[in-house]
Structure 1
Amino acid sequence: MSLQIDAVILAGGMARRMGGNDKGLVELNAQPMIKHAIDRIKPQVKEILINANRNQTSYAEFGYPVISDEDTGYLGPLAGMITAMGNTQADYLLVVPCDCPLLPTDLVSRMLEKIESQGAELAVASDGKREQPVVLLLKPGLRDSMKAFLDAGERKIDFWYAKHHCVVADFADQPNAFVNVNTPEQKQQLAEAIAK
């Protein structure tokens, strides 16, 4: 039996450090940032959802369903994950941010192997130095637990996954895989690195 794995790309934030520009739509080397993320994960999953709380029409042009947070008020990545978990029938949901253009092409296979070998509920990616709290593979059945956590006023995702059997998938062999873009300066540095 083959597992169904869907993905959600989180593009629902305020992007304050990008001058309020919608990060997923900011161009990096002539392509919107989210397009780089889509290209990286598309071969690894069955369906892709885009979580966006503004510019939904622009995001819809990429050809995937666009979902907005059920809880309004820009409550952070947890709100986007909860919404996505309620919109998938998959066995697992891959969560990635819209501003990571160099995501590993073996992200799903390595995270899934880690989950299955240790009987875990979710895996979080690490670049070898630190965990990447919004790059995860998790079972959609965890939705109620995450929603209760958010409803209790909690926001820090690492506190949530500490409550579950969580494993870390180490991508130290790809140290730049999770480089993300928060500022125009970082965007410029990354554009130059990709162009080399």
Structure 2
Amino acid sequence: MQLPIYGLVLVGGQSQRMGRDKALLRYGDGGTQLERTAALLQTTCEQVYISQRTGQAFPCPTASRAIYDCVDGVKGPLAGILSAMRTHPDAHWLVLACDLPYLQIAALTKLIDAFRQESPQLTAYRSSYDGLPEPLCAIYPSGSDAELLA
């Protein structure tokens, strides 16, 4: 049986450089970055979650739920990813930063196809800018949380 792929939008950042929360920036159509990213995941994932740090209170877009950081001693995006994996260990996680305004559904479909062709292993989008893997546009397989902490 194939495990489901759940979507996770990371919105737990401090927004120190920008001065306001990136997830709430609006596009020309009136939607926020958070809403757009969650909508992309809803087309490709069985369930969608919004990763928030403790104390945040983002309204979750339709058909999504919040997951709060719950891993002691870990901060940043890794805290959100590990919290999701521990909340639902029997799922793979398609993780996206909330600030990927040019991301298209075709890229997510390609990422999922690549993930399913291999035995489940971390599968990340490769940046066209520098050729490096993008860990905040990636699929983390179920059970890989121990490797992430190593």
Structure 1 residues 84 and 113, CA gap change in structure 2 (3 angstroms): same
Unpaired runs of 5+ residues, structure 2, are none
Secondary structure at 2:115's aligned position in 1?
helix
2:17 is matched with which residue?
A: 17
In 1, Cα distance between equivalents of 2:96 and 2:25: 17
Secondary structure at 1:31's aligned position in 2?
coil
2:69 is matched with which residue?
A: 69
Moved over 6 A (4+): none
Larger Rg: 1
In 1, Cα distance between equivalents of 2:74 and 2:36: 24
- State the 1:110 CA deviation: 1.9
Number of corresponding residues: 146
Q: Is the counterpart of residue 79 in structure 1 residue 88 in structure 2?
A: no
1:36–1:102 Cα contact (<8 Å) kept: no
TM-score (norm 2): 0.82
Task: From 128, 131, 142, give the equivalent of 2:144.
Answer: 142
User: What fraction of aligned residue pairs are identical, expressed as a percent?
Assistant: 22
TM-score (norm 1): 0.65
What does residue range 43-192 of structure 1 map to in structure 2 within 5 Å? Answer: 43-53=43-53, 54-56=55-57, 58-60=58-60, 62-71=62-71, 75-129=75-129, 130=131, 131-146=133-148, 148-149=149-150
1:172 is matched with which residue?
A: none
Greater share of helix? 1
- State the 1:92 CA deviation: 1.6
